[in-house]
Amino acid sequence: MVQALGRQVLVEFYGCDHRILDDVVQVEQILRRAAQKANATIVQSTFHRFNPYGVSGVVVIAESHISIHTWPEHGYAAVDVFTCGDTIDPWAAFKHMEIEFGAKKLSVMEMRRGIFEMQDGEQLMHKPADARLVV
């Protein structure tokens, strides 16, 4: 049996509202709300507005991340929703962003990450939320 550690949804939004894509506060709010809609646990977020336009940012979630880079002058946003575990729904995050950015066209694909062949009865466990890396 094949199992994966995570799911990664890669999205390209076209025909979006250029004013929203250039508003760093609004973009951060949309991605944070997308994380909540996906049932993810927000750890922190950081966003930056470029001069003369464009926004990049990431919402770090306990289950991985949601990131974005926008090109308001083209009405375009590239988004990455990477989730681990069975309780997170990356497609709920995707749908929320599609609506909020006002995307008229999109391209989306899902990849399974960290794929392992498991023996009968064996399960691939995701690390607990409170796990710490010891170096």
Q: pLDDT, tens digit, for every residue of 86-124?
A: 889 999 999 999 999 999 999 999 998 876 665 666 665
Q: Judge whether 84 counts as a catalytic residue.
A: yes
**What does the mean pLDDT of the chain come to?**
89
State the catalytic residue, choosing from 45, 64, 65, 96.
Answer: 64
Q: What counts of helices (H) and strands (E) characterise the chain?
A: 3, 6
Nearest to 101 by CA among 127, 128, 79: 79
State the catalytic residue, choosing from 69, 96, 107, 126.
Answer: 69
State the catalytic residue, choosing from 16, 45, 84, 96.
Answer: 84
pLDDT of res. 28: 98
The residue ranking higher by pLDDT, 4 or 25, is 25
Q: How many residues does the chain have?
A: 135
Q: Judge whether 64 counts as a catalytic residue.
A: yes
Output the pTM of the full model: 0.85
Nearest to 30 by CA among 45, 15, 41: 45
* Top-tier CATH class for 2-115: alpha beta
Q: Judge whether 74 counts as a catalytic residue.
A: no
